[in-house]
């Protein structure tokens, strides 16, 4: 393994691009390989075993491409699968989890809201996170079925995400949250809409900056940061329809992106 090897990043679909964008900005010399598992999205309503198998299969694929580190750019897959990935693979594996600690540190009302998938909210890892960091505040966790799908379709401000968000935000707003954690990597793409619905007083926290920082730290420790003269770059893969996913990604990133099909068809491969 050497420093010129790429970093592998994956999510159930396009949501993890919110993390990729942050990594791109912080680590411009790195080659990034992104896998959108769009053929199996959303993960949020799939059994944990299925997600664990997908995460292992995608990680294996990224290792075959020479990845020097893996970023699980998905709260749901981190909750379900990161312990297993770390047991199975010996390279650095960075996950993402709802930013409860920073939210508890800044809340003034003492009430924070978290939007996440059902799989994340009902996971043992999330319960442990609340146990460790959520004791100094009231933490209201709201599962959001269907919301990541809107982003998967590139629908960031239409009637459907608006209706869903109104429904999911109402119980949080009625309890006077002053801090809202985006606990799914798809949701930062809905931030303008969320802001419009909650107003300017509530602070929104997106943990991708912390993930990028942790990635930098681990690569630096292992002397695996890319050479500062390297041009950097990105390659995208999907298990869904490459043409359709390319259209959605190009819209989200505001530039033309092409995708290669992921050569994995079954979670058991």
- Chain residues in the site for ligand DGL (CB under 6 A): 11-13, 15, 41-44, 74-76, 117, 120, 148, 184-186
Complex with ligand DGL: residue 77 or 112, whichever CB lies closer: 77
The answer to whether 184 is a known catalytic residue is: yes
Minimum CB–partner distance for residue 74 and ligand DGL (Å): 4
Complex with ligand DGL: residue 121 or 198, whichever CB lies closer: 121
Q: How far is CA 27 from the centre of its chain?
A: 17
Complex with ligand DGL: residue 13 or 92, whichever CB lies closer: 13
**Residue of 144, 150, 184, 241 with catalytic role:** 184
The answer to whether 74 is a known catalytic residue is: yes
Minimum CB–partner distance for residue 12 and ligand DGL (Å): 3
Complex with ligand DGL: residue 38 or 179, whichever CB lies closer: 38
Minimum CB–partner distance for residue 259 and ligand DGL (Å): 17
**Residue of 74, 144, 150, 241 with catalytic role:** 74
Minimum CB–partner distance for residue 46 and ligand DGL (Å): 8
- Residues classed as catalytic: 74, 184
């Amino acid at each position: 393994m050497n420093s010129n090897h790429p970093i592998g990043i994956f999510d159930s679909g396009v949501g993890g691009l919110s993390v990729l964008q942050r990594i791109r900005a912080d680590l411009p010399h790195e080659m990034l390989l992104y896998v959108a598992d769009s053929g199996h999205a959303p993960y949020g309503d799939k059994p944990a075993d299925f997600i664990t198998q997908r995460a292992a299969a995608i990680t294996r694929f990224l290792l075959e491409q020479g990845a020097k580190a893996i970023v699980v750019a998905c709260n749901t897959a981190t909750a379900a699968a990161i312990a297993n990935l770390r047991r199975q693979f010996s390279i650095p594996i960075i996950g993402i989890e709802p930013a409860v600690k920073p939210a508890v540190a800044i809340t003034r009302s003492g009430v924070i809201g978290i939007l996440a998938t059902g799989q994340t909210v009902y996971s043992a890892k999330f319960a442990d996170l609340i146990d460790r960091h959520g004791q100094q505040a009231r933490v209201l966790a709201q599962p959001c079925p269907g919301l990541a799908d809107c982003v998967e379709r590139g629908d960031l401000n239409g009637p459907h995400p608006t209706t869903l968000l109104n429904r999911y935000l109402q119980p949080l707003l009625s309890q006077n949250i002053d801090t809202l954690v985006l606990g799914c990597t798809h949701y930062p793409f809905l931030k303008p809409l969320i802001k419009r619905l909650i107003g300017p007083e509530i602070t929104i926290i997106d943990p991708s900056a912390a993930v990028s920082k942790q990635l930098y730290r681990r690569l630096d420790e292992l002397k695996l940061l890319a050479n500062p003269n390297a041009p950097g770059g990105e390659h995208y893969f999907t298990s869904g329809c490459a043409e359709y996913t390319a259209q959605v990604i190009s819209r989200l990133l505001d530039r033309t992106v092409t995708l290669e099909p992921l050569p994995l068809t079954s979670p058991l491969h």
